[in-house]
Amino acid sequence: MNGKVTIYDIAKKLNITAATVSRALNGNQNISEKTRKMVLEAAHEMNYKQNKLALALKSGRSNYIGVIVPRINTNFFGSVIRGLEEELNAKGFNIIITQSHNDEAMEAKNIETLIDSHVDAIFISSSSKSSKALQKVLDAKIPLIFFDRRKIMDNVSSVTIDDFTGGYMATKHLIDTGCRKIAHIVSGPIELEIFRERHRGYQQALEDHHIEYRKEYVLKTNSSIEEGKRAVDILFNLPEKPDAIFSASDFVALGAIQELQARNIKVPEEVSVIGFANEPFTDFLELSITTVDQFPLEMGRTAARVYLNQETNPENKNIQKKVVLEPKLILRKSTR
């Protein structure tokens, strides 16, 4: 048969009405088991594919969940997605993954695409400085759940890490091991809460231990290995060079270590370096990297459970739930 098989083709083959075929395919209780079996067998033989979009429009549910991440090629976001899939797939949902590449316009485009795809919910780690595009999700009556990076919005649940505590414990560890000239590489837009809170934790740890906060020791970069190298180039051209670096990204921390080693600066004897995220490579390097674990797998599972709980309990539908997971300091060779 040429072209896409329709319910009318099945009806013609079986000499029944298209309405009967539609009811049988959709599990209508008024259709006999004999007819249902006959229709399903014919549909299978003819390679009939149901129109998922039409079903979604009719039922109000598509069983598809949209996920927007800054980038997928990191263990952190890959693990979050795995956690989401473990919980949501078990409940019959499929996941559509998109990437914003830390670009606000791309994130807005992803949101439009997912809304047009009639997804049942959108999970997002937002790279946006504003809430304009995100508000479109709520206007479309689609549940929105933040993970990792969030915006402050009414009736939107979130699952995050205590980034302030993560930044504080990383800086305190450097102080406890004798460092006093501690640089901080922000590793992302300071307008985003996660980077702002890690920076605030850094500041507070310095203040609590009576160490001067020095603006020249704080650099704003993107999260990449090359940016880590560039940061070291800037920091080690200062008159008074740092004796430690706290990076809000493992990738930047790795770049910093590579550049320090290229300059024959010993890590951690001369300069301690600590990252953030506990990417797998931090443990596999010859000089393993001290870092802060964000527990991404649990973050994904928890975010999925928050959504499922809201969907299955109508009284929870409009209750904003904020889950904050505790980070953990992972000590390795890059710090004293």
pLDDT in tens, 65-74: 999 999 998 9
Average pLDDT over residues 37-55: 79
| Cα 47 versus chain centre, distance | 37
- The CATH superfamily assigned to 59-160+296-325 is Response regulator (3.40.50.2300)
- Indicate the domain borders of the chain: 7-50, 59-160+296-325, 163-293
pLDDT in tens, 20-33: 888 888 777 788 88
Neighbours of 229 (CB within 10 A): 18
Whole-angstrom Cα distance, residue 204 to residue 169? 10
pLDDT at 336: 93
Residue 146: pLDDT above 90? yes
Q: What stretches of 149-226 adopt beta strand conformation (E)?
A: 157-161, 182-185, 218-219
Across the chain, what does the average pLDDT equal?
A: 92
Residue 17: pLDDT above 80? yes
pLDDT at 16: 92
Contacts of 36 (CB under 8 A, 6+ apart): 24, 27
pLDDT at 114: 95
66 contacts 123 by C-beta, under 8 angstroms: yes
* pTM as predicted: 0.82
pLDDT at 129: 79
pLDDT at 273: 98
Fold match, 7-50 / 163-293: no
Lowest mean pLDDT among 47-51, 92-96, 218-222, 326-330: 47-51
pLDDT at 171: 98
pLDDT at 334: 98
Q: Which CATH architecture group holds 163-293?
A: 3-Layer(aba) Sandwich (3.40)
CATH assignment of 7-50?
1.10.260.40
pLDDT at 53: 56
